[in-house]
């Protein structure tokens, strides 16, 4: 099912009186989710990603704009008529019902012609449980399950009625680190098997990058960038997106462009073709540094972290916004941890230039 | 869409109608009480079909209620009884809750279990012996006889103990390091921190005392020691020399007013306190 | 250590004194009284021990009347008030406007003097030579009555007693149920809406099970409270409840103790223990049932 958002806007009345205090949680969102894809809605807390999810599910109604599932306008439909499956952040499993009863619940709500026979319901519930591999726990109560198992039950409950789209609200945030890794692969697998168009919300960029077909980066209710994860990572549209994606985070320097050359401090570090003379933000991915004896960028060395395949060089520079520069280089390099300074050259395609005021991409 | 809205409006209307109806049920007796209290004696008795309003309100009934029956005395008695009982209860409760929550002594767990068990004992079971005890002590028709058996409330000790126990131990150790005595710690740290709970149990006890009927009825037959509940019963049965309903209603208004005022001031405190474990009676 | 332990008991001493004298001792004593035959409160002597007091009480027509009245009152008012309170609380939880006002109004009966407001109910329902009373006026609109609800037929009196009892116990139930409803996590409702559950299904499958512990708590306390009914009856029918056939078990106990028929603490004790046994049995049954039906 293709999902289309058209000029979708959600405003909340503010605490005070008048239009100035109102909060715009979603501002004129326009995008299209292709059929059968897994989309990650990504952004810091308060960016409007949860609001967007609630608008999709129908739990909230937009102030203006339309939502289409396929060709059908669902904007005015209540949640139960939209055919969506929703997995809540805290799972919202009914504590007094067993796993089986929880999964059966949405089916038992069907009325009229859509109503299934008891046997078919049981069959479908079991099928959904098998899909998430909890068919051995059907008679347990939610309180008797681990966090990961509860998560699976929640997904099974959302999937059992074969929703047109599946929505996941921060699906991994309540799991510990090890389970998180495992569960996200699981979500990917289930999505691939069912081919249901899936939207999930997260504030963890690594999570979004690792499993999404596409990511949508949001900030202050506005979509910043949409694209395949690698695309967005390689070609961030503005400073916010560049900073938000990637671990360790991108290193941001105060720089200056003069005569199509980029200067950091007094050092001429790189060419900047087509960029007019102006102060800029120069952002360098951790893997964009090349260790070079007489590289143009000199930094004060604070430490070296050897991590098997890679070495992280930790350094400082007076013009760098980050408290510490982190450069990842191959372990084949030799770094003298006792040295005071370390010198780098930069890989041109790993360096982005942004406008100093608006943060828009220049190069 | 409009169909859905219509259904929603219909549902809302039913809900408000239901709530409005019960509000009327609740408020009507109060309205009737006030209305009757300002009708004159002759006007009231002339109404074979009671009127829902009056055009000539009078305060004569209130004057009668205070002059023809000792309503003021009942009032003062109740006030003395309520204040004294509540004050003693507070001291006893605070000390006991402190002992249970902060101090360590042998037999503490056993004592606390005993306390909890006492919570389940109904008053009806112990009131008989108390009646005999107070009679034997020659305390019938005295304030002490009224007050002493009414003091203890195991539930309040439990409530306050739970609240005291939430205060972090670090505060106690810090106070100890600063050379603070246990008693000073209780009065300077614990009581101020737990003030909301203490206010709550105070209000609940005041309500309980103000409305108490059974014990005062058993233990007093001298009108000089009657509380308002017993007073109103006496007024009803032998009151104004004749059945003077308007004056009786005036007395009822006067008796009800203090608690209603208290309620309107401490609305949230009272409702929170009651939902944490008060029951009527 | 010695000093410390002394101190703990010292703080506890006032509470122990009060509880010892007015709760623990009487608790033991009431059993003793109930087995002392022919106790005379003036001379403080008795003839012998045995179960005569119980036999007397259980055969006393006044006690049987009180027992019957109390049971009828319990059976009618507990389900009625709990159901009505549930209905009102659910309504209250579904609205925003005027909610606080309604809550305040609904709570008012809790803070009023049962005896005093009972008088108002009495005059509303009483039929006198001068007036039929407001209740009969309303009955008249439907072509019925007039009935003397206070001094007339048994069921009319029982109706008023139940009516007033429900009026008195509603505030507590509404308050407790409203806060129970408010404490149900909203995401359950959102989840159920997304799952397509109808309003009724949400209520019966989610709301009710979630508040079932509170509901059972209310039913248990409701039973206990209704079995101890007394002052409501006094407020409506006066202190001589035996004469008006409206006595309750607690009323019987007090009458045995004091008043015109008083002076028999042994009978009172036996009656009190019978009451306690009934309440205990009902509570245990309640708990067993609730263990079966309260789901978590």
B78 and B160 both lie in a single domain: yes
Cis before residue A248, ω within 30 degrees of 0? yes
Asked whether residue B263 is assigned to any structural domain, the reply reads: no
Nearest CA in chain C to B52: C134
Radius of gyration of chain B from its Cα atoms, rounded to whole angstroms: 24
Query: How high is the mean pLDDT of chain C?
Result: 85
- Determine contact: C104 vs chain A, CB below 8 A: no
Interface partners of A (3+ CB pairs, < 8 Å)? C
In a domain, C37, yes or no: no
A95 vs C296: CB contact, 8 Å cut-off? yes
What are C217's two structure tokens? Answer: 């708590």
Give C-chain residues touching A124 at CB under 8 angstroms: none
Instruction: Over range A270-282, report the average pLDDT.
Output: 88
* CB-CB under 8 Å, C198 with A86: no
| pLDDT band at residue C128 using 50, 70 and 90 as cut-offs | confident
Contacts B259 to C, Cβ<8 Å: 111-113
Helical segments of chain B, H only: 2-37, 41-46, 60-67, 71-102, 108-118, 123-136, 143-147, 154-165, 169-177, 182-185, 191-193, 195-211, 214-219, 228-238, 245-265, 267-275
Interval B19-23 mean pLDDT: 95
Q: Which structure tokens are listed for B240? A: 């104004």
**What is the pLDDT at residue C248?**
92
End-to-end Cα distance, chain A: 37
* Chain A residues within an 8 Å CB radius of C196: 79-81, 106, 109-110, 161
Interchain CB contacts (distance < 8 Å): A and C: 67
Q: What is the mean pLDDT of residues C227-243?
A: 86
Q: Residue B222, Cβ neighbours under 10 Å: how many?
A: 9
Summarised one tens digit per residue, pLDDT across range C150-165 is 877 888 899 999 999 9
pLDDT over 60 (residue B13):
yes
Q: Are B280 and C180 in contact (CB under 8 A)?
A: no
Q: Domain check: are B79 and B184 in the same one?
A: yes
The arrangement of secondary structure in A3-244, i.e. its CATH architecture, is 3-Layer(aba) Sandwich (3.40)
**Residues of A in Cβ contact (< 8 Å) with C212:** 96
A161/C188 Cβ within 8 A? no
B104 lies in the same domain as B42: no
Q: How confident is the model at residue B69 (pLDDT cuts 50, 70, 90)?
A: confident
Tell whether B100 and B213 lie within a shared domain: yes
Q: Name the closest residue on chain C to residue B149, using Cα atoms.
A: C22
The 10s digit of each residue's pLDDT in B202-237 is: 988 998 898 888 888 888 888 888 888 888 888 887
Partner-chain contact A90 C187, CB within 8 Å: yes
Distance CA A174, CA A171 (A): 7
Angle subtended by helix axes C61-93 and C249-257, to nearest 10: 130
- Residue A140 confidence class, pLDDT cut points 50, 70, 90: very high
Q: Residue C134 and residue B126: Cβ atoms within 8 Å?
A: no
Alpha-helical regions (H) of B104-168: 108-118, 123-136, 143-147, 154-165
User: Model ipTM?
Assistant: 0.88
Closest-CA residue of A relative to C199 is: A109
Question: pLDDT tens for residues B125-148?
Answer: 888 888 888 888 888 888 999 999
Say whether B105 and C9 touch across the interface (CB within 8 A). yes
Nearest-CB residue to A141 (from C205, C210, C296): C296
Specify the CATH number for the domain of residue B221: 1.10.3720.10
**What pLDDT sits at residue C295?**
57
Over residues A196-201, mean pLDDT: 92
Query: Contact C194/A59, CB-based, under 8 Å?
Result: yes
Between C82 and A177, the higher pLDDT residue: C82
- Kindly determine whether residue C206 and residue A90, on different chains, have CB atoms separated by under 8 Å: no
Report pLDDT for C267: 87
Residue A48: count of CB within 10 angstroms of its CB: 23
The answer to whether residue A84 neighbours chain C at the CB level (below 8 Å) is: yes
Interface contact flag, C201 A78, Cβ < 8 Å: no
Q: How many domains does chain C have?
A: 1
Residue B280 has pLDDT above 50, yes or no: no
Each as own residue / partner, the long-range contacts of residues B12-18 (CB below 8 Å, 24 or more positions apart, any chain) are: B12/C95, B15/C91, B15/C94, B15/C95, B16/C95, B16/C98, B18/C87, B18/C88, B18/C91
Q: Which candidate in A57, A78, A81, A86 is best for mutational testing of the C interface (most C CBs within 10 A)?
A: A86
The whole-angstrom separation of Cα A344 and Cα B9 is 70
- Residues of C with CB below 8 A from B47's CB? 131
Residue of A nearest to C190 (CA): A59
Q: What chains are in contact with B, requiring at least 3 Cβ pairs below 8 Å?
A: C
User: Mean pLDDT over residues B53-76, rounded?
Assistant: 84
Query: Could you say which of C30, C92, C112 has the minimum Cβ distance to residue B129?
Result: C30
- Reported as a pLDDT band with limits 50, 70 and 90, residue C1 is very low
pLDDT of C131 reads 72
Q: What is the pLDDT of residue C293?
A: 67
Band (B281; pLDDT cuts 50, 70, 90): very low
Where on the phi/psi map is residue B141: left (φ > 0), alpha (ψ -120 to 50), or beta? left
What residue numbers bound the domain in which B156 lies? 70-239
B217 part of a folded domain: yes
Q: Cβ contact (<8 Å) for C167 and B182?
A: no
In-domain check, residue B245: no
By C-alpha distance, the chain A residue nearest C208 is A96
Give C175's contacts in chain B (Cβ within 8 Å).
Answer: 271, 274-275
- Of the candidates A92, A110, A161, the beta carbon closest to that of C191 is on A92
Confidence of residue C4 (pLDDT cuts 50, 70, 90): low
Of B12, B29, B232, the CB nearest to C121: B29
Please answer whether residues A191 and A29 qualify as being in contact, where contact means their C-beta atoms are separated by less than 8 angstroms: no
* Any A CB within 8 A of C192 CB: yes
CB contacts < 8 Å between B and C, how many? 261
What pLDDT, on the 0 to 100 scale, is given for residue A110? 81
Residues 203-232 of chain C whose Cβ lies under 8 A from any Cβ of chain A: 205-206, 209-210, 212
A68-88 pLDDT, tens digit per residue, is 999 999 998 888 888 888 898
- Show the domain range for C148: 54-293
- Residues B202 and B168 both lie in one domain: yes
The predicted-structure confidence for A299-310, as pLDDT tens digits, reads as follows 999 888 888 888
User: Chain C within 8 Å of A143 (Cβ-Cβ)?
Assistant: yes
Q: What is the pLDDT of residues C37-59, one digit of tens each?
A: 766 655 666 666 778 888 888 98
- Per the model's pLDDT, the better-predicted residue between A74 and C7 turns out to be A74
| Stated pTM of the model | 0.82
Cα separation, A86 vs A163, in Å, equals 9
Answer whether C22 sits within 8 Å of B252, measured CB to CB. Answer: no
Is beta strand A325-330 parallel, antiparallel or unpaired with respect to A251-258?
Answer: unpaired
Residue B215 lies in a domain: yes
**Residue C186 touches chain A, beta carbons under 8 Å:** no
Dist CA C115 CA B74 (whole Å) = 14
Choose the weakest-confidence range: A22-36, B24-38, B232-246: B232-246
Q: Tell me whether C292 touches chain A (CB under 8 Å).
A: no
Count of domains for chain B: 2
The arithmetic mean of pLDDT across residues A333-354, rounded, is 87
Domain chopping of chain A, boundaries: 3-244, 251-355
Nearest Cβ partner for A109 among C198, C212, C296: C198
Inter-chain contact C185–A92, Cβ cutoff 8 Å? yes
- Report the residue of chain C nearest A59, measured CA to CA: C190
Structure tokens at A144: 């008797």
The nearest alpha carbon in chain A to C207 belongs to A94
pLDDT digits (tens, 9 = 90+) for A35-45: 999 999 999 88
CA A141 to chain C, closest CA, distance in angstroms equals 9
For residue C146, is the peptide bond before it cis, meaning its omega torsion is within 30 degrees of 0? yes
| pLDDT of the residue at A237 | 92
Residues B108 and B172 in one domain: yes
Element (H, E) at C84: helix C61-93
| Subunit contact A59:C192, Cβ cutoff 8 A | no
Question: Which range has the top average pLDDT, B178-192, C113-127, C168-182?
Answer: C168-182
Asked if A79 and C209 come within 8 Å (Cβ–Cβ), the reply is no
Measured in angstroms, the CA of C52 and the nearest CA of chain B are apart by 18
pLDDT of residue C244: 83
Strand A261-264, strand A251-258: pairing: antiparallel
* The pLDDT of residue C83: 95
Q: Which of B96, B118, B252 sits opposite C116 (nearest CB)?
A: B252
Structure tokens at A188: 């990917």
Tell me the average pLDDT across B98-110: 87
In a domain, B21, yes or no: yes
Phi/psi of residue C148, nearest 5 degrees = -85, 105
pLDDT at A166 over 90: yes
CB contact under 8 A, B149 and C225: no
How does DSSP assign C47-80, residue by residue? SEESSHHHHHHHH-HHHHHHHHHHHHHHHHHHHH
Mutate to test the interface with B, among C15, C104, C226 (most CBs of B within 10 A): C15
- CATH value at residue C280: 1.10.3720.10
Per-residue model confidence (pLDDT) at position A225: 93
C185 CB within 8 Å of a chain A CB: yes
DSSP three-state, residue C140: helix
Tell me the per-residue pLDDT of B251-267, one tens digit each, with 9 for 90 and over.
Answer: 889 989 988 998 998 88
What part of A 91-130 touches C (C-beta under 8 Å)?
92, 94-97, 105-106, 108-111
């Amino acid at each position: 099912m293709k999902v289309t958002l058209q000029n979708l806007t959600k405003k909340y009345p503010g605490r005070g009186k008048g239009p100035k205090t109102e909060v715009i949680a979603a501002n004129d969102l326009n995008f299209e989710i292709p059929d059968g894809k897994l989309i990650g809605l990504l952004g810091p807390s308060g960016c409007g990603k949860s609001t967007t999810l609630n608008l999709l599910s129908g739990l909230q109604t937009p102030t203006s704009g339309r939502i289409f599932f396929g060709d059908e306008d669902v904007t005015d439909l209540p949640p139960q008529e939209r055919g969506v499956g929703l997995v809540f952040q805290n799972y919202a499993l009914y504590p007094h019902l067993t796993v089986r009863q929880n999964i059966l619940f949405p089916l038992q709500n069907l009325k009229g012609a859509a109503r299934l026979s008891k046997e078919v319901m049981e069959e479908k519930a079991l099928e959904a449980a098998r899909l998430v591999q909890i068919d051995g726990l059907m008679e347990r109560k939610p309180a008797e399950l681990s966090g990961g198992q509860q998560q699976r039950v929640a997904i099974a409950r959302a999937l059992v009625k074969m929703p047109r789209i599946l929505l996941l609200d921060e699906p991994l945030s309540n799991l510990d680190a090890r389970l998180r890794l495992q569960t996200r692969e699981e979500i990917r697998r289930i999505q691939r098997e069912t081919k249901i168009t899936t939207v999930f919300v997260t504030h963890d960029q690594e999570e979004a990058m690792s499993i999404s077909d596409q990511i949508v980066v949001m900030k202050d209710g506005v979509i910043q960038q949409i694209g395949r994860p690698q695309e967005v990572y390689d070609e961030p549209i503005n400073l916010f997106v560049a900073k938000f994606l990637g671990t360790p985070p991108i290193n941001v320097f105060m720089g200056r462009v003069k005569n199509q050359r980029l200067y950091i401090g007094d050092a001429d570090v790189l060419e900047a073709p087509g960029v007019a003379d102006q102060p800029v933000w120069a952002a360098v991915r951790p893997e964009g540094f090349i260790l070079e004896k007489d590289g143009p960028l000199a930094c004060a060395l604070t430490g070296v972290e050897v991590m098997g395949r890679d070495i992280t060089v930790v350094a400082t520079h007076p013009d760098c916004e980050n408290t510490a520069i982190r450069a990842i280089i191959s372990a084949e390099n030799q770094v003298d941890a006792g040295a005071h300074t370390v010198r780098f050259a930069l890989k041109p395609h790993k360096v982005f230039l942004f406008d100093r005021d608006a943060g828009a991409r220049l190069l | 869409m409009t169909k859905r809205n219509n259904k929603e409006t219909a549902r809302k209307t039913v809900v408000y109608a239901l709530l409005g109806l019960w509000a009327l049920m609740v408020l009507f007796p109060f309205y009737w009480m006030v209305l009757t209290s300002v009708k004159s004696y002759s006007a009231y008795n002339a109404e074979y079909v009671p009127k829902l309003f009056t055009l000539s309100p009078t305060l004569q009934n209130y004057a009668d209620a205070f002059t023809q029956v000792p309503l003021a005395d009942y009032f003062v008695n109740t006030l003395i009884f309520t204040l004294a009982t509540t004050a003693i209860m507070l001291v006893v409760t605070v000390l006991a809750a402190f002992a249970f929550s902060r101090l360590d002594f042998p037999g503490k767990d056993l004592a606390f279990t005993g306390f909890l068990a006492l919570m389940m004992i109904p008053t009806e079971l112990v009131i008989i012996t108390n009646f005999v005890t107070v009679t034997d002590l020659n305390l019938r028709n005295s304030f002490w006889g009224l007050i002493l058996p009414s003091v203890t409330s195991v539930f309040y000790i439990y409530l306050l103990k739970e609240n005291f126990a939430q205060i972090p131990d670090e505060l106690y150790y810090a106070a100890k390091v600063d050379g603070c005595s246990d008693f000073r710690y209780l009065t300077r740290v614990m009581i101020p921190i737990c003030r909301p709970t203490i206010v709550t149990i105070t209000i609940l006890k005041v309500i309980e005392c103000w409305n108490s009927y059974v014990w005062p009825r058993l233990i007093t037959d001298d009108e000089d020691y009657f509380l308002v509940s017993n007073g109103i019963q006496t007024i009803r049965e032998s009151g104004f020399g004749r059945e003077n309903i308007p004056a009786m209603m005036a007395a009822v208004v006067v008796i009800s007013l203090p608690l209603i005022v208290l309620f309107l001031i401490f609305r949230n405190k009272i409702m929170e306190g009651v939902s944490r474990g008060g029951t009527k009676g | 250590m010695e000093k410390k332990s002394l101190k703990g008991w010292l703080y506890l001493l006032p509470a122990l004194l009060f509880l010892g004298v007015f709760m623990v001792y009487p608790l033991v004593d009431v059993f003793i009284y109930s087995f002392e035959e022919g106790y005379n409160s003036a001379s403080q002597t008795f003839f012998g021990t045995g179960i005569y007091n119980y036999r007397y009480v259980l055969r006393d027509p006044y006690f049987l009347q009180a027992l019957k009245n109390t049971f009828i009152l319990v059976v009618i008012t507990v389900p009625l008030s709990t159901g009505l309170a549930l209905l009102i609380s659910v309504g209250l939880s579904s609205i925003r406007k005027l909610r606080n006002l309604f809550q305040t109004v609904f709570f008012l009966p809790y803070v009023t003097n049962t005896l005093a407001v009972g008088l108002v109910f009495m005059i509303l329902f009483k039929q006198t030579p001068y007036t039929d009373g407001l209740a009969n006026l309303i009955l008249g609109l439907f072509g019925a009555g007039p009935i003397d609800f206070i001094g007339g037929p048994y069921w009319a009196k029982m109706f008023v007693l139940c009516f007033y009892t429900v009026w008195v116990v509603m505030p507590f139930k509404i308050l407790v149920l409203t806060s129970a409803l408010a404490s149900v996590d909203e995401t359950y409702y959102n989840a159920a809406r997304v799952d397509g559950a109808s309003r009724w299904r949400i209520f019966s499958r989610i709301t009710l099970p979630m508040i079932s512990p509170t509901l059972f708590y209310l039913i248990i306390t409701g039973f206990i409270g209704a079995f101890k009914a007394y002052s409501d009856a006094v407020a409506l029918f006066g202190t001589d409840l035996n004469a008006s056939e409206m006595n309750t078990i607690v009323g019987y106990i007090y009458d045995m103790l004091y008043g015109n028929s008083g002076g028999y603490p042994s009978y009172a004790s036996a009656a009190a223990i019978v009451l306690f046994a009934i309440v205990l049995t009902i509570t245990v049954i309640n708990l067993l049932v609730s263990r079966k039906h309260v789901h978590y």
